[in-house]
């Protein structure tokens, strides 16, 4: 059976990832955002380690089967090392809570004069997470 690829001109994107999200996710990885690979995670393959083409643009993959990813990478640790986690909106919100970003800061995103698009809102959450991680690492 031939795979059917995502068509950005006709299909509604499952998540609004673009190059800005990928760059910010790479920054979050460099800052040490914890990632435990599991079913339901979107990941970026920046080094083109996965030989099968992605159904999504820009080498973004969705972990649907952990055994398949373990077959490709060998271990969960190798997945973490070679791929970049792209948290979904829900995952980003949960991460914000875990790293101490208060609900008021997140809610401020929804009370702006001009509402953010879904992609911009997710990017704002990534930015908040990066700022919170950097602040915790800054010398006191």
One digit per residue, pLDDT tens: the chain, 140 residues? 777 777 878 888 878 889 999 999 999 999 999 999 999 999 999 999 999 888 888 899 999 999 999 999 999 999 999 999 999 999 999 999 999 998 899 888 887 678 888 899 999 999 999 999 998 865 54
Q: How many domains does the chain have?
A: 1
Tokens of 77: 């640790």
Residue 1 included in any domain: no
d(CA 90, CA 125): 10
d(CA 57, CA 42): 12
Per the structure, the complete domain to which residue 26 belongs is given by: 19-133
- Predicted confidence at residue 15, as pLDDT, reads 81
Residue 78 included in any domain: yes
Give 137's Cβ-side CA count (13 Å radius).
11
Residue 71 included in any domain: yes
For residue 61, give the H/E element and its range: strand 60-62
- Predicted confidence at residue 74, as pLDDT, reads 97
- Predicted confidence at residue 138, as pLDDT, reads 55
pTM assigned to the model:
0.88
Residue 37 included in any domain: yes
Residue 11 included in any domain: no
């Amino acid at each position: 059976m031939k795979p059917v690829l995502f068509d950005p001109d006709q299909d509604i994107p499952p998540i609004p990832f673009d190059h800005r999200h990928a760059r910010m996710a790479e920054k979050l990885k460099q800052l040490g955002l914890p990632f435990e690979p599991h079913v339901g995670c979107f990941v970026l393959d920046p080094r083109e380690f996965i030989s099968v083409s992605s159904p999504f643009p820009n080498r973004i993959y969705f972990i649907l089967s952990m055994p398949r990813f373990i077959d490709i990478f060998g271990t969960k640790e190798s997945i973490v090392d070679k791929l970049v986690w792209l948290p979904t909106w829900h995952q980003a919100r949960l991460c914000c809570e875990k790293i101490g970003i208060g609900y008021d800061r997140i809610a401020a995103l929804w009370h702006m004069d001009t509402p953010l698009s879904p992609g911009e809102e997710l990017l704002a959450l990534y930015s908040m997470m990066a700022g919170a991680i950097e602040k915790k690492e800054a010398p006191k």
